Amino acid sequence: MIELREVNKYFGALHVLRDIDLAVGRGEVLVVIGPSGSGKSTLCRTINRLESIDSGAITVDGVPLPEEGKELARLRADVGMVFQSFNLFAHKTVLANVMLAQLKVRGRTKEEAERRARELLDRVGLADQAAKYPAQLSGGQQQRVAIARALAMDPKAMLFDEPTSALDPEMINEVLEVMRQLARDGMTMVVVTHEMGFARYAANRVVFMDGGKIVEDRPPDEFFAAPSTERAKDFLSKIL
Ligand code: ADP
Ligand code: MG
């Protein structure tokens, strides 16, 4: 579903992605972990072209990502992204937040968009919050709205960049539960997270990044039982 081949990315002189080769199969859940600054966010952002790449190739469902234009907007909508900060429109209701891109990007009618939005709000457990504004919701609820909004595009894959890092501990699980359900429903997912429970039990593969490189790419049971690199061992010893 997602394939990166020899992807390199620089910020000025800083080489942030180094020869990244990565393939995420349909329905696969990939968890990306690694120290701060290792390139995890940049990796996610290049997958839906929020950042350009300097060399290499990225395809989503076999289609190479174009550099710009209308085609890019459409392909970008095929890959949903959920960030640490929820990025909801503060002056719009929850319902309107989930409808907006459906109208603008997918060209749906208001009725279609509202029906789909209500269906998805129900799926993330927020059917009764549709008329509220983001500020009236808890952080966990806002993040679930952000997930519903991304799903409303009917994406082929979903990227999550530390979706629970800004949340109070008691709200983390309600967001992870929505993500676990998505995984069970067969969504292709790339998840950057420090939630090792999620990595262990929801991921098909764990990728460990360090210094812009993928240094391990293995099933979670193998990775957690015995990381093969010192760097990963050291990282795990600090967060577990
Ligand atoms: P992570 O998500 O693993 O913490 P990032 O992908 O955010 O890492 O960052 C990787 C490296 O790229 C870091 O050194 C960071 O400071 C740098 N970086 C990220 N975004 C930019 C940017 N827009 N301009 C310049 N440097 C950046
Ligand atoms: Mg990051």
Range with the lowest mean pLDDT among 8-17, 55-64, 125-134, 144-153?
55-64
Residue appearing with tokens 């990565």? 22
Per-residue model confidence (pLDDT) at position 70: 73
3-state secondary structure 178-226: HHHHHHHCCCEEEEECCCHHHHHHHCCEEEEEECCEEEEEECHHHHHHC
- pLDDT classification of 8: cutoffs 50, 70, 90: very high
Across the chain, mean pLDDT equals 94
Compute the distance from residue 82 Cα to the ligand 1 centre, in Å.
17
129 Cα to the center of ligand 1, angstroms: 35
Checking if the pLDDT of 63 tops 90, the result is no
As for the ipTM of the complex, it is 0.98
**Across residues 3-32, what is the average pLDDT?**
97
Question: pLDDT of 171-210, one tens digit each?
Answer: 999 999 999 999 999 999 999 999 999 999 999 999 999 9
What is the reported pTM? 0.95
142 vs 70, more confident: 142
> Distance between CA atoms of 153 and 80, rounded to whole angstroms?
7
Tell me what pLDDT residue 146 has: 97
| CB neighbour list of residue 206: distance below 8 Å, 6 or more residues apart | 30, 31, 32, 33, 199, 216, 217, 218, 219, 220, 223, 224
150 close to 88: Cβ distance less than 8 angstroms: no
Percent of the chain with pLDDT over 70: 100
Ligand closest in space to the Cα of 210: 1
Confidence of residue 45 (pLDDT cuts 50, 70, 90): very high
Ion ligand 2 residues within 5 Å by Cβ: 40-41
Among 42, 207, 235, name the best residue to mutate to test ligand 1's pocket (greatest count of ligand atoms within 8 A of Cβ).
Answer: 42
Nearest-atom index, ligand 1, CA of 44: 6
Q: Which of 28-32, 39-43, 102-106, 209-213 has the lowest mean pLDDT?
A: 102-106
**Torsion angle of C-alpha atoms 5, 24, 50, 122, degrees rounded to 10:** 170
Q: Cα of 180 to ligand 1 centre, how many Å?
A: 28
> Cα(209) to centroid of ligand 1, in Å?
13
Residues with CB under 6 A from ligand 1: 11, 14, 16, 34, 36-42
Dump pLDDT digits (tens) for 71-97: 777 778 899 999 999 899 999 999 999
